[in-house]
Amino acid sequence: MLQVYELEKSYGKKVALDGVSLNVSQGEILVVMGPSGCGKSTLIRCINRLTEPDRGEVLFKEQSVMDMSPQELLEFRRRVGFVFQHFNLIKRLTVKENVMFGPVLSGMDPEEAEANALEALGKVGLLGNADSLPDELSGGQQQRVGIARALALNPEIMLLDEPTASLDPILVGEVLDVMEDLARSTKATMIIVTHEVSFALKVADRIILMDHG
């Protein structure tokens, strides 16, 4: 489903990716682990070109992501859910409106987007908070909204970039529980960057260790 070939990325003299290659099968849950600064986040950001690699190739269903036009890249990103380290929620919008925002912007009918948003919030245990504002939620709840936002696009692939990294330790467990439930129930392919070893061992079909790119 997804092939990465010889990805390279440097920031000045610092090498983030040094010829990384991997294959991900449809429905596979791949966990990427390694020390801080080893290139994990750069790798998944390069997959959907949030970060442009210096060299290499990414193929999605045999189509080159690197050769996509701006419109094709937009369509590709609609099929890829991305969960960031930081929540990046729009503070003036309710939880439901935050989850609806991307699908509506992509052209989805608002009623369909609302139904999808409520379904996604149900999956992360926040249906009762649909009309709350982000500032009324804990950090763990806000990150669960971020996961719901990615789910609302009905993605074929989910990329999760250390979604517990910015949380207080006491809040990490609730997000890991949601991610574990999703890993068991979703049909989407998942690539998860995490430092949580016990979580990785529970959910991963395969674990990749990175070090110095």
Per-residue pLDDT at 213? 63
Can you give the pLDDT at residue 114?
Answer: 94
pLDDT at residue 44 in the model: 93
> Could you tell me the strand order of the sheet in which 157-161 lies?
80-83, 157-161, 189-193, 29-33, 206-209
For 18-46, b/e burial (b = at least 16 CB within 10 A) is eebebebeeebbbbbbbeeebbbbbbbbb
The predicted pLDDT at position 193 comes to 92
- Asked if the 1-79+155-213 domain carries CATH number 3.40.50.2300, the reply is no
pTM tops 0.85 = yes
DSSP state of 165: T
Instruction: Going from the first residue of the chain to its last (213 residues), give the mean pLDDT of each consecutive group of 10, the final group possibly shorter.
Output: 94 92 92 88 93 95 93 88 85 95 86 92 91 92 90 88 80 82 80 88 90 74
Residue 83's Cα: distance from chain center in Å? 3
Query: Distance from first CA to last CA of the chain, Å, rounded?
Result: 23
Q: What was the pLDDT predicted at 115?
A: 93
- Distance, in Å, from the CA atom of 73 to the CA atom of 65, rounded to the nearest integer, reads 7
**Separation between Cα atoms, residue 171 and residue 175, nearest integer Å:** 7
Question: What residue ranges of the chain are covered by domains with CATH 3.40.50.300?
Answer: 1-79+155-213
Q: What is the pLDDT of residue 108?
A: 85
- The confidence score (pLDDT) of residue 2 equals 93
